[in-house]
Amino acid sequence: MGDLAGRVGLVTGGGRGIGRAIALSLAHGGAEVAVSGRSADVLEETVSAIRAVGPRATAIVCDVTQRSQVDDMVARIKKDLGQPLILINNAGIAGSAKLSDTTDDMWDAMLRTNATGAFYCMRALVPHMVEAKWGRVINIASIAARAGAAYIAAYAASKHALLGLTRSIAAEVATKGVTVNAICPGYVDTEMTDRSAAFISARTRRDEKEARKILEGFSPQQRLMTAEEVASLASYLCSEAARGINGQGIVVDGGSVQA
């Protein structure tokens, strides 16, 4: 994946989990990487790991639900590294509740973080990609962008919105040298899935090992996906070899969602 040398990328939610894995994968491909998120300490740890690989990197504390913070973040990246032409919208939150227990605040937070934040970042960066006649946008969605499930109305709605945004912008820039795709993972072995297992354990009184088995069982492969699997796909989508892949929502879940 050395064809990313000289490119500048931004990974939101880049301090841990899938975001961290993607940031490191891009760095191994030669890209200089900015990581953003809300926790300065984990962002700095990721930056140190990227610099150990070789490329330059910078960490920026940013809440992507705030448009002014997104604009400030983009200006900072341009100053520190140059114009970012790779955007990985990974910042996101998850939660579950029955419809009757889904509060206005839960609904608003889910949509603002998972969909509006990506919109702000795309609106800030895609015009520069069009001007440069090259760019890559990858939105980290979920299998919940492709299929609904009980108790995740707000989450599924936000991820469906993200996939719709992906497809619409992909069509808009298809002739401009820019591609826009989504990756839709199933349950991935990250801290977010640990929290899901803890939630199941608390609700069902099963121990957390048994709760993890429940989550593993959603995949026909009877396992959790890994952050590195998602990161490898993201790096491939950023490469020239993937320039014909545009407007797709690619599922990484071992085969449970096949349509």
As its CATH architecture, domain 2-186+228-252 has 3-Layer(aba) Sandwich (3.40)
CA gap 248, 245 in Å, rounded:
7
Integer CA distances (angstroms), 88 to 137, 161, 216, in order: 6, 16, 26
Whether the model pTM is above 0.85: yes
Q: Where in the chain is the domain with CATH 3.40.50.720?
A: 2-186+228-252
pLDDT in tens for each of the 259 residues of the chain? 458 999 999 999 999 999 999 999 999 999 999 999 999 999 999 999 999 998 999 999 999 999 999 999 999 999 999 999 999 999 999 998 999 999 999 999 999 999 999 999 999 999 999 999 999 999 999 999 999 999 999 999 999 999 999 999 999 999 999 999 999 999 998 877 777 777 677 777 777 778 888 888 889 999 999 999 999 999 999 999 999 999 999 999 999 998 6
For CA atoms 250, 219, 207, 209, give the dihedral sign.
negative
3-state helix, strand, coil in the chain (%, to 5): 55, 15, 30
CA gap 50, 54 in Å, rounded:
7
Which stretches does DSSP call E strand in 150-227?
178-185
CA gap 170, 124 in Å, rounded:
15
* Residue 231 phi, psi (nearest 5): -65, -40
Looking at residue 199, its pLDDT comes to: 67
Q: Which residues are marked as active site?
A: 155
Amino acid at 30: G
Looking at residue 1, its pLDDT comes to: 45
